[in-house]
Amino acid sequence: MALLPILRYPDPRLHKVAQPVQAVDARIRALIADMFETMYEAHGIGLAATQVDVHERLIVIDVSEQRNEPMVLINPEITWGSAERLRGDEGCLSVPGVYDGVERAAAVTVSALDGEGQSRSIPAEGLLAVCIQHEMDHLMGKVFVDYLSPLKRNRIKSKLLKQLREEARP
């Protein structure tokens, strides 16, 4: 297993649209293992393949307190979303240190293949529903800061670019 580098906003590769996974083979299983290791090490509750510069429709999630309920979504599609919408603060491993409010469907049903290539339909609410929608946005090249005002987004962009420049200084 290996830790993968996570792309950081405003890296333009975060805006690429992911393509369907063609086969759940050894390459994908190794990627899933590496993505879980990377997500747990970063203390995240989700990670999309886009964030590790792999532009295929694959997500890993674990919203459990004990960090022992891993969930793999391959080629996910939302088949139902509630009319009820809720606004809550979100964070992102690709946008470190930034938290802001985003409005999402309160509940969704997602169909996807699991890590064994089996078809599943998963009803989700609460944090899991939010996380699924956030990660599926990544697969469409969308980062949660894209929901914020241009003013806020530009401030975040400048702050993160400054951080990257400082980290690159010898």
Question: By C-alpha distance, which of 166, 103, 143 is closest to 15?
Answer: 143
Token pair for 139: 């697969």
Q: Are strands 100-105 and 46-48 parallel, antiparallel or unpaired?
A: unpaired
User: Shortest approach of ligand K1U to residue 169 CB, angstroms?
Assistant: 26
Considering only residues 18 to 77 of the shown chain, the ones binding ligand K1U according to CB under 6 A are 44-47
User: Shortest approach of ligand K1U to residue 14 CB, angstroms?
Assistant: 10
Give the separation between CA 107 and CA 159, rounded to whole angstroms: 33
Among 70, 81, 91, 141, binds ligand K1U (CB under 6 A): 91
User: Shortest approach of ligand K1U to residue 143 CB, angstroms?
Assistant: 9
Considering only residues 10 to 29 of the shown chain, the ones binding ligand K1U according to CB under 6 A are none
Chain length of the chain:
170
User: Shortest approach of Zn ion to residue 14 CB, angstroms?
Assistant: 9
Whichever of 98 and 113 has its CB closer to ligand K1U, that residue is 98
Q: 86: which residues sit within 8 A by CB, 6+ positions away?
A: 103, 104, 105, 106, 130
How many chain residues are in contact with Zn ion, going by CB under 5 A?
Answer: 1
Give the separation between CA 10 and CA 40, rounded to whole angstroms: 23
Give the separation between CA 38 and CA 69, rounded to whole angstroms: 16
- 125 a catalytic residue: no
Considering only residues 116 to 145 of the shown chain, the ones binding ligand K1U according to CB under 6 A are 130-131, 134-135
Q: Which positions are annotated as active-site residues?
A: 135
> Site residues (CB under 6 A) for ligand K1U?
44-47, 90-94, 130-131, 134-135
